[in-house]
A and B are shown apart, each in its own frame.
Chain A
Amino acid sequence: MKSSFDILMVGIGGQGTILASNIIGQACLLENRRVKGAETHGMAQRGGSVESHIRIDGKFGPLIAPGQADILLSFDLLEALRYSHYLKAGGTMVLNRHLVLPTSVYMQKIEAPTEEGIIAALGRFRLCILDADRIAQEAGSPLSQNVVMLGAASRMIPLKPESLLSAVKNLVPKKTIEINARAFEMGRESGSSC
């Protein structure tokens, strides 16, 4: 019944999920494919938990059903765990080894999850863990970590890497094209070991 390739991208408001989803959308247009998506907006989502659904070749609605995502791309470890039920059995999780503890942990003295604990809890999935912050720094800007993540996931997304790369170049701010192109390639390189 499901004809689309479904990607769920999750993270913390301000990490660049919207730009990353726009890049995939643009790449679909370049290949003349249908695409649908839905994302979190408003209510000062900055700092909040955010999700972006993308359905490549999607004919119907923009939302992915739980248990159906082909890839889950997460910018933060805790958010990966929060949305892990969306990933289908046998799906791949592309994961940034990075954990921002919510302010609620300090304000309400909740027990904080650990990196190791989260990774162990995600053990049932195929994990592709990378240090996107460090790679983005090396590429030239910590702001390019969303493109690094996309580069790593590009090996599993059914789009040509050339389409994704030209979409990156079309959509990032002009003066950061070189940095982001490098971020994409470095991300793709690091995704090869997954």
Chain B
Amino acid sequence: MERQYLLGNEAIAHACLEAPVDFVSGYPGTPSSEVIDVLRSRQERAYYIEWSTNEKVALENALAAAWCGLRALCTMKHVGLNVAADPLMTSAYTGVTGGLVIMSADDPFAHSSQNEQDSRCYARFARVPCLDPATIQEAHDMVRDAFALSEEFSLPVIFRPTTRICHSKGDVALGPIVASQRKGEFKKDPRQYVVIPAHTRILHKKLNEKQPAIKKRLVELGYNTYSVRGKTAVIASGIAVTYVQELIPEGISFMKIGAYPIDESWLSGFVRQHDTVLVIEELAPEIEEQVLQVAGIVNVLGKKNGYVPYEGELSLSAVAAIMVKAGSIPAIPYPAVSPVQDLPLRPPILCAGCLHRAAFYAIKRVFKDAVYPSDIGCYTLGLQLGVVDTTICMGASITVSSGIAHSGEPRDIICTIGDSTFLHTGIQGLMNAVYNGADITVVILDNRITAMTGHQPNPNTGVTACGIASHPVSLDAVCRACGVTFVETVDPYDITGMMNVLKEAQSRKGVKVVIAKQQCVIMAKRGGVKRGRYMVDAEICTGCGTCVRYGCPAIEMAGEKARITDLCSGCAVCAQLCPTGAIVREGKK
């Protein structure tokens, strides 16, 4: 058995190789993305792998592979499961023959997400098993078991690690990589795979009949365990298990939940041996509600009576405070300390030389008093530049724009959406806006990659997940096919050029699309693009601050004058903005 220091997602990917997996699909989303990134970067691979255009597409592909008897993994983040919810619900009815594991990574505290929803609720909704790891080692072991469990019950299994599992690291014991021997074959069985009402009524009954055996099996698997040590008990799940284990004193019982659905009689047997039970879990009160159902007169402390928060991420100090409040530990083992107040924030920021900053600048200059709906991607950080008014979910910028336009809003409406997001679920909104006569401008921020989640290729990139060259989609042609007549592609580094096209768009009626196309600055750097660096001629600089207000992290004030640091990537936008012409290319003074 080999031990390696791995990221949770790397350990999860390795477990897929041990399973072994035959088919992998997904859509990038922090904190889930590295699983496919690790699997796709393997030189020798017997499995099929793809980045799909969205999570619904990914799940339907993986489901089909599992129908063919293969072991399929489908990865996404919690909000992606909403997009894939439609096939998820019915996949529980049709079931699978091969193993289907849906990894839906949750993000308590919304470190990089638009909400804090809990994928365990979807598992309960769909009536499929859900595995919820407490450590990286367990995440690794659970993936291996999830495939077997899926095949045992012919059901998709949701695997739900949280950010603190996906992006934490540890020494992990790994098993051997196994070569897959499976060949997929679709065996026709319309009563299983064609969900007309007559079939589906029977399938639903079958799904319900599977539940008791699943509950028993999950207890046997050892992911739900307990030890009785006194009349007070703490029940925890996910990463909170490790916090409780670090803090729990002698004489307090402990139950760990790692798998759902929970066997009620087993749970009841534990709960009823105690006077008080404290349930500590992140996000939804999944366990707490079950405990309440079996508790009888046992006092249950948790979210519903204010001991545990519904929102945010738990931590050692948060759990310590909860346990003290609930009377489960005598004193806070870790003294409370407060951070230094009122420091200037350092939020994530668009990179030096990012095309989005240039595009936002041009948008703001032309569409001065406008409404700016936006979307999910790096460019959501345009909020700091005052050019992002709304963000809901993938693809919602165009639909929100048309909704606002049809509501009689008198101002111009100009929205921004990235290339990957446009392909994910933006196209449908564009079709709808054109067909229903909305009056909006859409700027597709086309950096040819899914940058925010770690530079995964999409159908606009020109390579597949495996690095094989492929035919990139023509955004221009797609927009025209949707019925847009004004489609212009511009280079956002050319501020004047882009502003001219935006002015033209502003003067027209209907749906106008401007494709602001330039390579992601990180990809350009990796690709060896060298534009040279820019500098401020201190003799000419008047210190007016126009360049620092542009918000590029490569520009700062040094006393009364501006200065460009070595973060400069040479996009030259600041040189175009400087009113005195003080910014020049290094060595070309």
Chain A: residues with CB nearer than 8 A to chain B?
Answer: 1, 12-13, 21-22, 25-26, 28-29, 33-49, 58-68, 78-79, 81-85, 101-107, 110, 112-113, 121
Taking a contact as CB atoms under 8 Å apart, the answer to whether A78 and B170 are in contact is no
Max chain A Cβ within 10 angstroms of own Cβ: one of B316, B551, B557: B316
Contact partner, B335, options A36, A37, A67, Cβ 8 Å: A67
B283-291, B338-346, B391-399: which lies at the interface:
B338-346
Q: List residues of chain B with CB within 8 A of the CB of A33.
A: 171
Check if A103 sits within 8 Å of B553, measured CB to CB. yes
- Identify 8 residue pairs between A and B in the complex whose beta-carbon atoms are under 8 Å apart, listed by A's number: A36-B168, A36-B169, A44-B378, A44-B451, A45-B348, A63-B164, A102-B347, A112-B344
Q: Is B242 an interface residue (CB 8 A)?
A: yes
Closest to A109 in B: B545
A81 and B243 contact, Cβ closer than 8 Å, known pairs A12-B346, A28-B5, A63-B164: no
Q: How far is the CA of A17 from the CA of B217 in the complex (A)?
A: 42
B557 contacts across to A, CB distance below 8 A: 106
- A101–B381 CB distance below 8 A: no
Query: Do residues A113 and B348 form an inter-chain contact, with CB atoms below 8 A?
Result: no
The complex places the Cα of A67 from the Cα of B169 at a distance, in Å, of 21
Interface residues on B, range: 35 or more
Considering only CB atoms, which chain A residue lies closest to B240 in the complex?
Answer: A61
> Is B228's beta carbon under 8 Å from chain A?
no
CB of A44 within 8 A of CB of B351, answer yes
CB pair B346–A48 under 8 Å, yes or no, is yes
Known: A63-B164, A65-B317. A107 touches B384 (CB 8 A): yes
Contact indicator A28/B556 (Cβ below 8 Å): no
Q: Does A47 lie within 8 Å of B349, measured CB to CB? A: yes
| Closest 8 pairs (CB-CB, A-B) | A42-B30, A61-B242, A25-B5, A48-B348, A43-B112, A62-B168, A60-B246, A38-B168
Contact status A61-B316, CB under 8 Å: yes
Q: How far is the CA of A67 from the CA of B555 in the complex (A)?
A: 35
Chain B residues, CB < 8 A from A43: 30, 111-112, 348, 452
The residue in B167, B239, B551 that gathers the most chain A C-beta atoms within 10 A of its C-beta is B167
Q: Which of A28, A41, A42, A65 contacts B315 (CB 8 A)?
A: A65
Contact present for B242 and A39 (CB under 8 Å): no
Which of B337, B549, B557 is most buried by chain A, counting CB atoms within 10 A of its CB?
A: B337
One digit per residue, 1 when the CB lies within 8 angstroms of any chain A CB and 0 when it does not, for chain B 242-281 equals 1101110000000000000000000000000000000000
B169 near A65 (CB under 8 angstroms)?
Answer: no
Which of B171, B335, B345 is the one whose CB lies under 8 Å from A102? B345
Known: A47-B553, A66-B334. A42 touches B344 (CB 8 A): no
Q: Which residue of B lies closest to A39 (CB)?
A: B167
Contact A60 B168 (CB under 8 A): no
Is the C-beta of B320 less than 8 angstroms from some C-beta in chain A? yes
Residues of B near A65 (CB, < 8 A) are 315-317, 320, 334
* Bound form: Cα–Cα A61–B333 in Å: 16
The B95-139 residues at the A interface (CB cut-off 8 A) are 111-112, 135-136
Complex Cα–Cα for A28 and B169 (A): 12
Chain B nearest CB: distance from A22 CB in Å? 7
Q: How close is A115's CB to chain B, nearest CB, in angstroms?
A: 14
Residue of B nearest to A112 (CB): B344
Known contacts A42-B112, A44-B348, A44-B349; is-contact A66 B343 (Cβ 8 Å):
no
Q: Which residue of B lies closest to A42 (CB)?
A: B30
Residues of A within 8 A of B33 (CB): 42
- State how many angstroms separate the Cβ of A71 from the closest Cβ of chain B: 16
Chain B CB within 10 Å, residue with most, of A13, A36, A43 = A43
For the complex, is B453 an interface residue (Cβ under 8 Å from A)?
yes
Q: Are A35 and B31 in contact (CB under 8 A)?
A: no
Closest-by-CB residue of B relative to A80 is B340
B548 at the interface (CB under 8 A from A): yes
Contact (Cβ within 8 A) A42 B453: yes
Shortest Cβ distance from B169 into chain A, in angstroms? 4
Closest CB of chain A to B583's CB: distance in Å? 15
Contact between A78 and B340, CB atoms less than 8 A apart: no
User: Which B residues are in CB contact (< 8 Å) with A1?
Assistant: 246-247, 333
**What are the residues of chain A within 8 A of B453 when measuring CB–CB?**
42
